[in-house]
Amino acid sequence: MLFNSFDFGLFLPIVFILYWVVGRKRIQGQNLVLLIASYFFYGVWDWRFLLLIFASSLVDFYAGKYISKAQTKQRKRLWLYSSLSWNLGVLFVFKYYNFFLDNLKTLFEIPENTFTTLDIIIPVGLSFYTFQTIGYTMDVYRKKIPPSQDLLKFLCFVSFFPQLVAGPIERASKLLPQFSKQRTFGYDKAKDGLRQVLWGLFKKIVVADNIGVAVFAIYNHPESYGSLTIIYGAFLFLFQLYADFSGYSDIAIGTAKLFGFDLSTNFKLPYLANSVTGFWRRWHITLSKWFQDYVYVPFVKGNTLGFLSKQSKKIVGLLLTMGLIGLWHGADWTYLAFGLLHGVLIIIEGTTITRKGKKMKLHQWLETGVFWSKFYTVTFLVVSLIFFRASTLEKAIVMLKEIITQNVAFYNFNLIIGKKIIFLIIMIVAEVWRKRYTHPFTNLEGVFPKIVRWGIYYFLIFAIIRYGRPQEEFIYFQF
């Protein structure tokens, strides 16, 4: 079930009432309502996905328990590796097996019919909930959290519907305890949640989906346009991706608030970053933190590749982490190229320079607000996202070539979506204006009187109904 579907519009109030009315007296009751709702929410896509998420939850629930009970380090490790093998194995089979096999065949010239690719669909949100459960097992292994003793709470933690299919990827230490506490209804929190949901829907349905039309037209036929339109298209994709994914996160966080939960912030105006390093501290924060804690830091601090110097290890670790972040988005060379490009820039930004007699990292200097730092960051993002958006590496290169080699910059210049571009401007202005808050409608009472606030909400609802498009998809669902 998609957040921007009518089904969700019916599902949410029903679950909300059941949750607060039926389950209000007992934590178990609330959790049970949430579990049934989450499994229903997920099962609407394909009921078979439920078997997988249930199996993954059981594996990690028991792995956590056995890790904590194990007397020796070897046994602890055995349980950890069992859990990791299951999770990464599932991820590999569903997401990477065909890619791996196709490339293996090409590399070693293996005949086409030697190994067959799997004709399977990737379960929605697989990468998100798998990472969440891996994080749990790792934290139990590192003794950062005690293992969950309550299966119902753990099943809720893995399948909590607001963040199940596209994050934020929550840490067990933050989300799991919330299932153990009695949630009491808070009027202001619920109101704030509803406003955040509305803002998220606006970003997704009105901004992302409409600029997506222009992006589609330009990326599909870059040869039909001059370089200016292609650059415009590349910039639009930057915002489409942001509005789509951060819109989703807003709906997820807002929905969780309606049920008394707090989810992590996933975006902090990433395109205002002054460096690529800074960008990753603001973009899909829960994913980059996950990779930092469970891949980069253990790699740099661990014994792997012990023959390398500390500095070399950091460089290899960064490239590895960023390459994996790229591949996390999908099994394709374009995603790997996207991740590695970012990795290279982060390494460059990590070099030490001397400014005014002071030694500092390049990204620290950039983040002091050097006038061209924003320009540099956004330009790099635009270029790297061309790889992200293009279906093949060749197409990405064609797109870049078209920008450079097109003689007539203004040839066939077209906004494509006409006046609807105003919605993008509204989104940018609102988010920058209210950048101190998690979403632009937080504490709006102090800014506008009720009549203006309601006017704004009605305008957004009107825009959502009027400018909604027939398709209902989120870009990040495919990951």
Partner 1 sequence: MIKKFLIHTCIFLIPVIIGYAILENYTRNLPLSPKAKSAFYKKHQNNIEILILGASQNRDAINPEFLSQKALNLAYPDQDYYVSSKLLEQIGPTLTSLKTVIVPISYGHFETAPNQKETWKNSMYRHYFGATISEKFTYFKDNFLYISFPNYYSTKINSHRNGKNTVDCNEYGYNRDVSTSAFYKLKYDSLSIAKSPVPITPLQENPAFIPENIERLEAILNYCSQQNYKVILLETPTTVLFKQQRIPEVLHRKDSILSLIKSKYTIQHIDLDTNNDYSIKDRRDNNHLSTQGAKKFTKRLNKIIE
351, two tokens: 């070099």
Q: Which of 12, 18, 20, 171 binds partner 1 (CB under 8 A)?
A: 20
Is residue 191 involved in binding partner 1 (CB under 8 A)?
yes
* N- to C-terminal Cα separation, the chain: 16
Smallest gap from residue 12 Cβ to partner 1 (A) = 11
Smallest gap from residue 31 Cβ to partner 1 (A) = 18
Cα–Cα distance measured from residue 46 to residue 339, given in angstroms and rounded to the nearest whole number: 31
Closest among 70, 67, 82, 205 to 139, alpha carbons compared: 67
Smallest gap from residue 421 Cβ to partner 1 (A) = 15
136, two tokens: 């749990």
Give Cβ neighbours of residue 402 (< 8 Å, ≥ 6 apart): 222, 223, 225, 227, 230
Site for partner 1 in 33-62 (CB under 8 A): 44
Residues β-bridged to residue 354: 359
Is residue 194 involved in binding partner 1 (CB under 8 A)?
yes
Site for partner 1 in 170-189 (CB under 8 A): 185-187
Smallest gap from residue 471 Cβ to partner 1 (A) = 8
The nearer residue to partner 1, 409 or 461, going by C-beta atoms, is 461
Closest among 146, 427, 166 to 286, alpha carbons compared: 166
Is residue 350 involved in binding partner 1 (CB under 8 A)?
no
> Are the C-beta atoms of 453 and 444 separated by less than 8 Å?
yes
Smallest gap from residue 418 Cβ to partner 1 (A) = 12
Q: Which of 6, 108, 307, 371 binds partner 1 (CB under 8 A)?
A: 6
CA-derived radius of gyration, the chain? 23
Element (H, E) at 157: helix 151-159
Site for partner 1 in 360-399 (CB under 8 A): none
Smallest gap from residue 186 Cβ to partner 1 (A) = 8
Smallest gap from residue 464 Cβ to partner 1 (A) = 9
Binding range to partner 1, per CB under 8 A, among 15-23, 112-120, 225-233, 246-254: 15-23
Cα–Cα distance measured from residue 96 to residue 92, given in angstroms and rounded to the nearest whole number: 5
The nearer residue to partner 1, 44 or 101, going by C-beta atoms, is 44
Element (H, E) at 360: strand 358-361
381, two tokens: 């993002």
Element (H, E) at 319: helix 310-328
Q: Which of 84, 101, 190, 272 binds partner 1 (CB under 8 A)?
A: 190
Binding range to partner 1, per CB under 8 A, among 3-11, 96-104, 133-141, 440-448: 3-11
Cα–Cα distance measured from residue 476 to residue 164, given in angstroms and rounded to the nearest whole number: 12
The nearer residue to partner 1, 5 or 28, going by C-beta atoms, is 5
Site for partner 1 in 416-475 (CB under 8 A): 454, 457-458, 461-462, 465-470
Is residue 415 involved in binding partner 1 (CB under 8 A)?
no
Q: How many residues bind partner 1 (CB under 8 A)?
A: 26
Q: Which of 17, 36, 348, 422 binds partner 1 (CB under 8 A)?
A: 17
Which is catalytic among the residues 284, 329, 342, 439? 329
User: Residues 289-320, buried b or exposed e (16+ Cβ, 10 A)?
Assistant: bbbebbbbeebbeeeeeeeeeeeebbbbbbbb
The nearer residue to partner 1, 1 or 320, going by C-beta atoms, is 1
CA dist 93 → 155, 331, 335 (Å): 23, 11, 18
- Collapsing DSSP to helix, strand or coil, 354 comes out as strand
Q: Is-catalytic flag, 342?
A: no
Q: Which positions are annotated as active-site residues?
A: 329
Residues that bind partner 1 (CB under 8 A): 5-7, 9-10, 17, 20-21, 44, 185-187, 190-191, 194, 454, 457-458, 461-462, 465-470
